[in-house]
Structure 1
Amino acid sequence: MENQTPSQNPNSVSKFSFFQSNTAKMIMVGILSLFLLIPLNLVQSLIRERSQRKNEVTKEITQLWGNDILFYGPILKVPYKTYSETAVVDDKTKVTTIQKQAHLEYAYFFPSELNNKTNIEKVDQLKRSLYNPIVFKANIKFNGTFQDVSFDKISVNEEDVLWDKATILIKTTNLKSIKSDLKININTNDYSLESKSDEDNYFGTLETNSFVYKSNEKLTFSFEMNYNGSNSLQFIPVGKTTTTSIDANWDSPSFIGNFAASDTTKKVTTKNFHADWKILHINRPFSQQYTEKIPNLKGYSYGVKLIEPVDEYQQNERASKYGFLVIGLTFLIFFLIQTISKKSIHIFQYTMIGLALIMFYTLLISITEHSSFTIAYIIASSAVIIMLLLYSFSVLKEKKFPFFISISLLILYSFIFVIIQLENYALLVGSIGLFFILGAVMYFSRKIDWNTN
């Protein structure tokens, strides 16, 4: 019997032919694409780590400079007496006597009218390393009146009200960042505001010394406060009629809280914004006066939050989420060119191409931290496209296909950049784009004989 050499063995030839087939090459390229998800995931972890570092630095700076501001007041605080009776039995005589004991309680009254005008100035000199947190200086001017202050609704005798011990309270979350000498003008007289201990663990309390107030007397007030703050400024509408006007040199405000700014006067430009509020007591679910304790009102605030229009780390994270799409489509382009042109591209060369595509994201995040996202995207994508163009010249040994690859990558990166910039229409544009990409792949692959090696 004649012996067969390995090269003459039909089974060996069949196995060798399979590994040279289009099916085997597609499987290997697919496995490589999945394998490249590992370094792509590491890049995404790097982006999240850098974003977390930014948040830590921002938090550190804002704690030193001043946190978010939530303000409400002024509040008229009037003490009054209540009485309790206790039966006391004498041990010797067994005679019962009733002892009457006085207790001091407090009533809190909100203003009839409260107006404030606020000016916010963005501060830029607190940049630390690569990070520039949103911090500001706020000048807030208040004026208003207290009217019809009485104890009729709580059934307290007039002689039990200590009108000569009345004080004014102001509550705020950011006592440490107040930068002005605090005085309040009450009926043409100035009174100093001092920090007081309070059971409230959320708000800090400022209170005047006592002054003489008469029942149903109209009390006018005005005061001004200067703050260092960060991120947001909010108020609670304690006035029976509350009006607020805010101006700021910031182009990206987010109007937050339970009450909307007036659409007729609200104005946002590329350099600043203006907003007004007018809130009536019937618009809010709390009363004008309280006894014993004021309830938690922080859920009824309104105001503005200064936001970054586009966070560079969020843009980088969104870009990295399209990484698998870029790798898959690029490999598909090379695979179709390899199949059509009968050029051989080794799996190692596919690996180098995939790593070059992943390097795009490390370049993008590192350049973004020193520049804008747009500039970083142009530089990083241009570098990767040029690298793959030169590499394609070496691999494919001709000019037509490398230029086609470069144009395809340019279109792909441009398409992803547009999707990242869009918000409301990102899904729509992305779906339409992918539909056309699928159509292009079907068109160019329609005449390929997949049964040939």
Structure 2
Amino acid sequence: MENTNTPPQNKFGNWLKTSITARMLMVGFLVIILLIPLTYISSLIRERSQRQTEVIAEINQQWGNEVLIYGPILKVPYKTFNEKTVTDKITKKVYTETIEEINDAYFFPEKLNINSNINPEEKKRGIYTTAVYNSNMTISGTFVKPDFSDIEINDKDILWDKAKIIIQSSNVKGVNEASLKVEGTNYGLTSKYNGQKNYAYNAVILHTLETKNIDKNQLQFQKPLTFNINLNIKGSEQIRFVPTGKQTEAEIKSNWKTANFFGEFLPYNDDKVSEYGFDAKWKILDLNRPFSQQHFNGIPDLKEFAFGVNFMIPVDEYQKSERSAKYGFLVIGLTFLIFFLIQTLSKIDIHPFQYLMVGLALTMFYTLLVSISEHSNFLKAYLIAGSSVIALITLYSKSILKTFKFPLFIGASLTALYTFIYVIIQLENYALLVGSIGLFLILAIVMYVSRKIDWNNG
């Protein structure tokens, strides 16, 4: 007897093949599933970026951190007298006792001239690079006679024989040489412990260098008191100065070509950058800054008014990789949309597993991009990773779609998509504009193509 039994039909499989709605749900579900590896990839990029930050911080710590110079400042002690009422415990008599206290007043220079010559170089550890430098600077200027009239201190209560000149710096570890002359007389600089701890990440703590007591005879101020300071300091990444002079003039020269000028004040000369490096000049008056020349309640924190130069490494590969990974959802979604339209219009069956393989190939682009960019520049890494993924998906599509025209169309579409994303990554001011226009055109193309689909068939 002939067996006429037929195997039971797979209703779900048939529904998935024939129903457009089912295919749309399947594609959407796979896109959501592929967000999981994309999340892990974004986490990997942040982890590698954090590792870069840690290694650069270690290099800078060993060589010498950024340099911030605050000063010089003339410190002059003075006496104050306070009356205190005291009651004798035995006689119960009340009398007044005068208590003498010694405080410090701080005076900024009348004129401050800063000349610095900086020779940066790249320092590497493994695959990570940072900019370090050796700086030679000359700081000169004048002090005028301190004015105590604001707090009504008599001249006899000013301790001129205890006056000192101090300089504050964020990096005393990198100091190779430091000398100070007042009216041609040498005064050695010694480091003074300020008791501050750097608990906050990337916080700038200023350390004090001070002279011995200035010769009282030099503080007669028949004319402005002249000073001259020579410093040789090793530092990293950036250097900056606080404009303490009533008139501050600064000039920084270097052979570094990718410098970034930053801070409260910028150089005034237009020809500061050339093919040989830069020669930047500043001129800052007391009218340009919101603080005075004398301070009687300690040294104020004026780091926010500093100006200087950042010796930046021009490219940040991890930042670009992270920006490209943010478009991962868009790349996967649009690629799946292309396959969905081809499948719907040509009636070619594409299995969900094949969609998944294409999606995983697209996520591999980002791991290739990060790993290659660590050993090369971003453009080369992008080209290698993009070409590899496009070639892989195009060849795999040939085995699925059995024709040449559809795989070639997919390859061309992926090439255009990756090129579009690369352009957006490179742009800063126009990234949103170009991205919006590009997405609008993509939507228009999809709407035009999808008009041929018979949506009544499932």
The equivalent residue for 2:19 is 21
Kindly provide the CA deviation profile for residues 103-161 of structure 1, in whole angstroms up to 9, marking residues without a partner as x: 4332221110001012232222x301110123222222111011233434433322333
Identify which of 60, 73, 87 aligns with 2:58: 60
User: How much identity, in percent, do the aligned residues show?
Assistant: 51
**CA–CA distance in 1 between the matches of 2:148 and 2:8?**
111
> How far is the alpha carbon of 1:196 from its aligned partner?
1.7
Q: CA RMSD in A?
A: 2.7
Partner of 2:33: 35
Q: Distance in 1 between matches of 2:350 and 2:35?
A: 21
1:414 maps to amino acid:
T
Tell me, yes or no, if structure 1 residue 211 matches structure 2 residue 231: no
Change (3 A) 1:410 1:270: farther
* 2:356 pairs with one of 348, 351, 376: 351
**Structure 1 range deviating more: 428-437 or 442-451:** 442-451
Q: 218-227 vs 251-260, which deviates more?
A: 251-260
Tell me by how many angstroms 1:100 deviates: 5.2
Query: Is the CA contact 1:198–1:204 (under 8 Å) kept in the aligned structure 2?
Result: yes
One-letter code aligned to 1:188:
G
Q: Which amino acid aligns with 2:189?
A: L
Output the CA distance in 2 between the equivalents of 1:234 and 1:225. Answer: 14
1:17 Cα deviation (Å)?
Answer: 4.4
Verify: 1:142 aligned to 2:139, yes or no. Answer: yes
Contact 1:150 1:215 in 2 (8 A): no
Q: Distance in 2 between matches of 1:199 and 1:47?
A: 38
- 1:53 to partner: Cα distance: 0.9
Measured in 2, the distance between the counterparts of 1:249 and 1:158 equals 50
- How many Å separate the matches in 1 of 2:252 and 2:60? 21
Between 1:440-449 and 1:230-239, the stretch displaced more is: 440-449
Q: Which string of whole-angstrom CA distances, capped at 9 and with x for unpartnered residues, describes residues 69-101 of structure 1? A: 221111112233334456778889998876655
1:379 is matched with which residue? 384
- What CA distance in whole angstroms lies between the structure 2 residues aligned with 1:193 and 1:179? 12
Moved more, 103-112 or 53-62: 103-112
Matches within 5 A, 1:13-412: 16-17=14-15, 19-85=17-83, 102-124=100-122, 126-180=123-177, 182-198=178-194, 202-212=205-215, 213-217=218-222, 218-262=224-268, 264-265=269-270, 267-269=272-274, 272-412=277-417
Q: For 1:321-342, what per-residue CA distance to the aligned partner results, in whole angstroms no more than 9, with x for missing partners?
A: 1111111111111222222222
Q: Deviation string for 1:15-74 (max 9, x for gaps)?
A: 934652222112111111111111111111111111111111111221222222221111
Distance in 1 between residues matched to 2:338 and 2:272, nearest whole Å: 49
Secondary structure of the structure 2 residue equivalent to 1:276:
strand
- Shift >4 Å, 4+ stretches: 4-9, 12-15, 84-102
Structure 1 residues 257, 132: CA separation in 2 closer, same or farther (over 3 Å shift)? same
Cα deviation, residue 191, structure 1: 1.1
Give TM-score, length-normalised by structure 1: 0.90
Name whichever of 21-30 and 265-274 sits farther off: 265-274
Distance (Å, rounded) in 2 between the aligned partners of 1:251 and 1:438: 43
The TM-score, its normalising length taken from structure 2, stands at 0.89
2:202: which partner in 1? none
Alpha-carbon separation, structure 2, partners of 1:142 and 1:302: 15
Compute the displacement of 1:415 (Å). 0.6
CA change 1:335–1:97 in 2 (3 A) is closer
Cα gap change, 1:348 to 1:282, in 2 (>3 Å) = same
CA 1:149–1:391: 2 relative to 1, 3 Å: same
Give the letter for the 2:30 counterpart.
L
Unaligned runs of 5+ in 1: none
Residues 1:93 and 1:23: Cα distance change in structure 2 (over 3 Å): closer
